[in-house]
Amino acid sequence: MRNANQQRLAELREVLTARPRVSLASLPTPLEPCPGLTRELAGPQIWVKRDDLTGLATGGNKTRMFEYVLGQAIEEGADTVVAGAAVQSNYCRQLAAACAKLGLECHLLLRKVRGEKDDEIQGGLLLDLLVGAKVEMLEGIDWVEHGEIIRQRARQLEAQGKRVHIGRVGDESRLGRYAVAYADAFVELIEQAEELELTIDEIWMSSSDATQAGLAIAAKHCESPVRLVGLPAVPQPIAPGWTFAECISAFGNECAEILGLSTRLLPGDITSIVDYVGPGYGMLTDAARDAMRLAGRCDGLLLDPVYTSKAMAGLVDHVRRGLIAADRTIVFLHTGGLPALFAYGDSLGLEELL
């Protein structure tokens, strides 16, 4: 066993194939070395799992999730989807494109988090509109109020005879459905590593819940020695009073129930580091800005300002402080977010390079 118990990996692969699913992503995504970053940081060996290349509306980790979530929704008869998040949401961008591809009506209620900057038709918002989503902008509300507005819109559409699937932020109650996709991604990644004869020590990622939950339940079920490290992009988990570890383990266990697995996670199984969020969601930090430049200069790797740059900032900081040994092999899970780069162009400090 290099990265996982192969018998258990095969068992997981089998139960995943029984789930309702639609085809949206270009899979498998590449697993590539980052020689420039490895050299710049003087070890460890850094690889990147390119889930920014899933292909739908510039790609990202949510495309994997919608294969399962919308597959189930269509099986249940949905013809309309209502969801929301921040204006530059990767979730909403990929959801809008997925709905266009599947023939579902898509309503997005987007919350402004950057004031007037969010009025610009740029980045993810531009793509939402291009693929036909019906967009409404909201401001002056918190996430709780946002969820209630989404549910109200769903009720209005149902009264018109629509069969509505409510996505995030309107329904945060069944995130184990989203985690299923990253149980599948774990199988894919381990199979790639085995083919490359690569022993993975750690997987680092930006995740506040479902991505890490799916990987974690899969890793535990497959008796994998690989350590998972998640770095949330928000300061607090979606469940008030809970820790990230409690939320992620609960969503992983819901995923296990969906798949019929007996394996269960405990909060102690989860490593979640919140030190790199900065002043808040969607607010770029100096460390994240530096990480974006470093990844771009060393390996031509483009990170986004909201998620992956903060996760990379955490990884770089840990390496530079000697908290990760030079003989380790790290896989950085690139969860996407490219369009937001264009919406944050004036925040990246690139003028000084001209």
Who contacts 154 (Cβ-Cβ below 8 Å, separation ≥6)?
82, 164, 166, 170
The pair phi, psi for residue 81, each rounded to 5°, is: -125, 135
Structural contact between residues 110 and 121, judged by C-beta atoms closer than 8 angstroms: no
- Joined tokens for residue 251: 């969503």
Structural contact between residues 20 and 71, judged by C-beta atoms closer than 8 angstroms: yes
> Kindly report the CA angle at 80 between 76 and 85, in degrees rounded to 5?
110
> Where do we find the tokens 């559409």?
157
Amino acid, single-letter form, for residue 334: H
Structural contact between residues 247 and 238, judged by C-beta atoms closer than 8 angstroms: yes
Cα–Cα distance between 305 and 197 in angstroms, integer? 33
Who contacts 150 (Cβ-Cβ below 8 Å, separation ≥6)?
82, 83, 84, 109, 166, 169, 170
Catalytically annotated residue among 89, 207, 208, 309: 89
Q: Which long-range contacts (CB under 8 A, 24 or more apart) does 61-64 make?
A: 61/90, 61/181, 61/182, 61/211, 61/333, 61/335, 61/336, 62/90, 62/91, 62/94, 62/95, 62/336, 63/24, 63/25, 63/94, 63/98, 64/25, 64/27, 64/181, 64/182, 64/184, 64/185
Amino acid, single-letter form, for residue 169: V
Phi-psi region of 159 (alpha: psi -120 to 50; beta: other; left: phi over 0): alpha
**Helix (H) or strand (E) segment spanning residue 81:** strand 80-86
**Known catalytic membership, residue 249:** no
Can you list the alpha helix ranges (DSSP code H) found in 161-264? 176-195, 210-221, 244-259
Active site residues: 89
